[in-house]
Amino acid sequence: MAIGLTHYLILAAAMFLVGMVGVATRRNSLIMLMSIEIMLCGVNVVFAAYSRVHGDLSGHVFVLMNFAVAAAEAAIGLAILVEIYRLRRTVNVDELKTLME
Amino acid sequence: METFLFYLFAGLMLGSAVMTISSRSAVSAAVWLIFSFVNAAGVFALLAAPFLAILQILIYAGAIMVLFLFVIMMLQGPVLPAERERRSLWKILLLGAPAAAIAVTLISWLSQSGLTAFAVAAPETAGTAERVAELLLNRYLLAFELISIVLLVAIIGALALGRKEEDLPWQ
């Protein structure tokens, strides 16, 4: 069976779900940030696949925007994590519940 | 050949993503994620997007993951105790079962829909750097400028967050 749009969409959905499960189950906030990157990567595959189906390169431009957003998200998220670590000496989200108490 | 390469890249990409979310230490998670992103670049190359494939390696596997590794090495030195995680099985099952259900639904739904064949990508639609740049600097010029402002704000925000309290100008 030739590789078509469906294969790429299934791959992207699987990547997104892996990222989702990672965010939901892991308690180490570094790995939660990595799971968000996995989800963004799945979305990029969808953009590129539809771009090829329509023969229009606009999808590639959107993937570029996604790259920039992912970079900004990683930079800010990691800066916040470093700051939290300085204050609390942990990156485990289970122990960061000051607002809850 | 394309079939073989697709299954190779997709399998390695998904497998190492699963290894990322299931590995104990953050360093090995990051290394698995780099491998996953390199394979994602291969998937982009199969989708006639060579420019995106190169950028995927440069930006994701290069810049972003190096940033992650730096922060992990900084935080996870001798001070950080081994990750204490309550990973009860029922919790993972509780979250994994809906995810698997969604996956099965999507796969069955997608394989019923008729969108299985690509229109053959003519050579002039391959996403080389030249064509993507032409589009980016003409039709999407405003978005291009706005995204650079987003990056600038992110840089300033990260700098402001990373400084010591007494260094901040408003202190």
Q: Where residue B30 sits, what CATH number does that domain have?
A: 1.20.120.1200
From B49, B77, B105, give the residue that closes a domain. B77
Residue B163 is predicted with a pLDDT of 79
A83 CB neighbour count, 10 Å cutoff: 14
CATH architecture assignment, domain A9-95: Orthogonal Bundle (1.10)
pLDDT, tens digit, for every residue of A49-68? 988 888 888 999 999 999 99
| Number of domains forming the structure of chain B | 2
Which of A29-33, A94-98, B34-38, B54-58 is predicted with the least confidence, judged by mean pLDDT?
A: A94-98
Q: Which range of residues forms the domain containing residue B66? A: 1-77
Contacts of A65 (CB under 8 A, 6+ apart): B143, B147
pTM for the whole thing?
Answer: 0.84
Domain boundaries, chain A: 9-95
Residues 39-98 of B with CB under 8 A from A: 40, 43-44, 46-49, 51-52, 55-56, 59-60, 63-64, 67-68, 71-72, 74-75, 79-80, 83-87, 91-92, 95-96
- Helix, coil or strand: residue B141: helix
Helix (H, G, I), strand (E, B) or coil at A101: coil
Residue B171 lies in a domain: yes
Instruction: Output the pLDDT for position B121.
Output: 58
Q: Of B58, B77, B96, which closes a domain?
A: B77
If chain B, 171 residues long, is cut into consecutive pieces of 10 residues, what is the mean pLDDT of each piece? Answer: 88 93 87 94 90 92 90 68 56 74 76 62 73 90 94 92 69 51
ipTM of the complex: 0.90
B160 min Cα distance to partner chain A (Å) = 9
